[in-house]
Chains A and B, each alone.
Chain A
Amino acid sequence: MNPPLVQPDRRALFAGFFKIGITAFGGVLPLVRRMMVDERRWVDDRDFTELLGLGQALPGPNVMNIAITIGMRFQGVPGALCAVAGLMLAPMVIILTLAMLYDHYSYSPTLKSTLAGLASVAAGLLLAMGIRLGLRLPRSSWRYVVAALTFVAVAVLRLPLIAVLAAMTPLAVACAWREMKAAP
């Protein structure tokens, strides 16, 4: 049996997301799941999947959307603010420190080479993430067409994102709608 669920207070919301902020390297969402479902028992697995779906369907930083949703659920708006503050506090301080160091040493050829190597890997990681998401997609032709058109529009034609979204979102949602009507 799983231990019973726990209702976090504001301090616990801050602490939980603070820990995520300082420990999350390259991919926050798996850590959020572990913290909220396994370690602190705020929500169960099904609930988390629902939360994740909502956080990803809404625009903006996914993990912040989750922090807001969970904070509001347990402690209203103050809870959401505590969760977001916990999440952002340490990473903001760290990234601003790194930015200052970067400004200070950006003339250094050693730093330039190091960052160039780092950047090549970071680009490869992002491409791999896109490939991994693509492999998980249900096999259907409209999904491939939508993904390919979106890719070509932003990466090859370099069209403004707002135009791409204005064209692709209605098309994709209409296709999904037809699919749901055909096989509910």
Chain B
Amino acid sequence: MNGALLLTLAWRFALYSLMAVGGVNALVPEIHRQVVELDGWMSNAEFSSLFAIAQAAPGPNMLFVTLIGWKVAGLPGALVATTGMCLPSSLLTYTVVRLRDRYSQSQARRAIERGLAPVTIGLTLGSGWLLLNAANAHVSGWLLSAATVPLALRRGINPLWLLAAGALIGWLAGF
């Protein structure tokens, strides 16, 4: 396996780790920009398929990063990308927990939490929009996505059922 490629993956995902404001979903546009648009490591369809597989599988949505690493550089790539994604933010969490008693009630922390909330929302909506474009090559895909949104907004419907229905429709309709 190409060592330079693994180093690039490790470095990039370590940076992403500290940029994942509000979680890994915020990173979708940046990862897409890098691996699809700049490097051409995969197509739009592959990118959105990997995201969908990570959503359909059990576990944290960070597994999307594992799949990107896999696609780029096989098993070593998967491990390197996952470790890169987890390590810096984990060390930061460790440090903050250590210092927490001093800062937990501070106004600065509350201002940061409140200020980041709308940034996170902008990033999540941006990720959704980007994936809509990457996943839907045809109008039938757009219709399926459009039908998903109101159903997902209703409480009490397990998203897994929606994913299963999507897979079934894709298979039967020959997307």
Q: Residues of B contacting A153 with CB < 8 Å?
A: 122, 126
Q: Residues of A contacting B167 with CB < 8 Å?
A: 114-115, 117-118, 121
- A interface secondary structure, majority: helix
Report whether B57 and A95 are in contact in the complex, using a CB–CB cutoff of 8 Å: yes
Among B109, B125, B148, contact of A125 (Cβ-Cβ < 8 Å): B148
| Residue A113 CB within 8 A of the other chain | yes
Among A53, A161, A175, contact of B19 (Cβ-Cβ < 8 Å): A161
Interface residues contributed by chain B, number (CB under 8 Å):
108
Using a CB-CB cutoff of 8 Å, which residues 124-175 of chain B contact chain A? 124-132, 134-137, 141-142, 144-149, 152-153, 158-160, 162-163, 165-171, 173-175
| Residue B6 CB within 8 A of the other chain | no
Using a CB-CB cutoff of 8 Å, which residues 96-119 of chain B contact chain A? 96-97, 100, 104, 107, 109-119
- B interface secondary structure, majority: helix
Interface residues contributed by chain A, number (CB under 8 Å):
93
| Residue A5 CB within 8 A of the other chain | no
Report whether B111 and A176 are in contact in the complex, using a CB–CB cutoff of 8 Å: yes
Q: How far does the alpha carbon of A26 sit from the alpha carbon of B152 in the complex, in Å?
A: 11
Q: Residues of A contacting B173 with CB < 8 Å?
A: 113, 117
Q: In chain A, what residue has the closest Cβ to B165?
A: A121
Knowing A56-B22, A60-B90, A128-B153 touch, does A120 contact B125 (C-beta < 8 A)?
no
Q: Residues of B contacting A180 with CB < 8 Å?
A: 107, 110-111, 114
A-B contact count (CB 8 A): 374
Using a CB-CB cutoff of 8 Å, which residues 4-21 of chain B contact chain A? 15-21
Q: Residues of B contacting A98 with CB < 8 Å?
A: 53, 57
| Residue A12 CB within 8 A of the other chain | no
Report whether B52 and A115 are in contact in the complex, using a CB–CB cutoff of 8 Å: yes
| Residue A182 CB within 8 A of the other chain | no
Q: How far does the alpha carbon of A134 sit from the alpha carbon of B29 in the complex, in Å?
A: 19
Q: Residues of B contacting A120 with CB < 8 Å?
A: 135-136, 141-142, 144-145, 148, 166, 170, 175
Q: Which 9 A-B pairs have the closest CB atoms?
A: A117-B170, A60-B89, A91-B59, A150-B122, A124-B148, A121-B166, A127-B128, A128-B152, A173-B115
10 contacts between A and B (CB under 8 A): A21-B59, A24-B59, A56-B113, A58-B96, A59-B17, A92-B59, A120-B148, A128-B148, A161-B19, A165-B19
